[in-house]
Amino acid sequence: MSFFKKLKESISKKTESVTNVFKDGLSKTRTALVEKVQDLITRRKKIDEDFYEELEEILIGADVGVNTVMKLIDDLRSEVRKRKIEDAAELQPVLSEKLIGLLRSEENTGLQMNKDGITVILFVGVNGVGKTTTIGKLAHRFKQEGKKVLLAAGDTFRAGAIEQLEVWGQRVGVDVIKQQSGSDPAAVMFDAVQAAKQRGVDVLLCDTAGRLQNKSNLMDELNKIYRVIQREIPGAPHEVLMVLDATTGQNALSQAKLFGEKSGVTGLVLTKLDGTAKGGIVIAIRQELNLPVKYIGLGEKMDDLQEFDSEQFVHALFAGLIRDAEELENEEKVE
């Protein structure tokens, strides 16, 4: 069975609606990455230095990451020599397999939930990345699953942050625990944990301040929040999700490296993937950071926050290649 056929059969077990959400949300990246690679292979019949250089430019342009691209090109050179490939068209399935291999992971990307009480999820990240929106959308997902949810407005420093979270709370029908602007975030978390216990809440989603990661006082504040939560609920927070804006590309990767080292991040949420042609940043992040991507944002609607699924992601990007491979197989059968 061909590589692409195996991939399609694996995807066919998933729901068609989710597949379509991924396809629509990744259309810009598909155009920038896969279609450009297909065009390169069509134009340049021969694999030479010019071919490798142009392929390198395409991959770096999609924010796959310089280190990852250099390793990938070296692997391709090795495969070309080993298999004695001369025609660029023969390299297409090899390249596709290599890219898919970079994305695939055996690790569980699902959320770690507390089986014996309240699950506490802390959200970190710089301002403007879509943190509050992500919290609102995740609250909606949990509510759809029948869970009782509470929000904690721990970003007490940014003007309008509390009100923004309240708007999302109203939209999804979830209460928000808050104090006045400028209050101690750890005190807000203490109140939120007490309220969660009293109300029999299943999931507590906590917003935090998002000032730049090089501010040491922000890290001190986060550590204080951790201590308060851990004291009240042993083992919490069960997840610390860092929210990144995919449209910022390599800057998002830099933020994840700096913030992740200092704040105990357990997973990543990549927002606004539908708004960028640089979705290759997902590949770069999975290669350069030892952190799983838990969710990706693929649109503005309430349901457009999707659990990250490497097979769905790959299928959405390589749908054209899969069709081409099927057509080629069918032609060979006819002959």
Binding residue per annotation — 132? yes
Is 63 annotated as contributing to ligand binding?
no
Residues 6+ apart with CB under 8 A from 190: 228, 232
213: three-class secondary structure by DSSP: coil
Residue with tokens 């990240």: 125
Does 24 belong to an annotated binding site?
no
- Enter the tokens of residue 249: 């590309």
User: Is 129 a known ligand-binding residue?
Assistant: yes
272 is in an annotated binding site: yes
Annotated binding residue 193: no
279 labelled binding-site residue: no
The verdict on whether residue 209 carries a ligand-binding annotation is yes
131 marked among binding-site residues: yes
Q: Which two tokens stand for residue 63?
A: 């924010």
Q: Is 275 annotated as a binding residue?
A: no
**Burial annotation 48-64 (CB, 10 A radius, 16+ → b, else e):** eeebeebbbebbbbbbb
| Strands lying side by side in the sheet with 293-297 | 175-177, 149-154, 203-208, 119-124, 239-245, 267-271, 293-297, 305-307
- What Rg do the C-alpha atoms of the chain give, in angstroms? 22
Distances (CA, A) of 258 to 127, 245, 254, 289: 15, 15, 6, 11
Distance, CA of 169 to CA of 113 (rounded, Å): 21
Gap between the Cα atoms of 281 and 27, Å rounded = 15
Distances (CA, A) of 180 to 167, 187, 264: 16, 11, 27
| Residue 82 counted as an annotated binding residue | no
Strand partners, 149: 203
Say if residue 108 carries a ligand binding annotation. Answer: no
141 labeled part of a ligand binding site: no
Q: 18: which residues sit within 8 A by CB, 6+ positions away?
A: 306, 309, 312
Q: Is 211 annotated as a binding residue?
A: yes
271 is an annotated ligand-binding site residue: yes
Binding residues: 125-132, 207-211, 271-274
Binding residues for GTP: 125-132, 207-211, 271-274
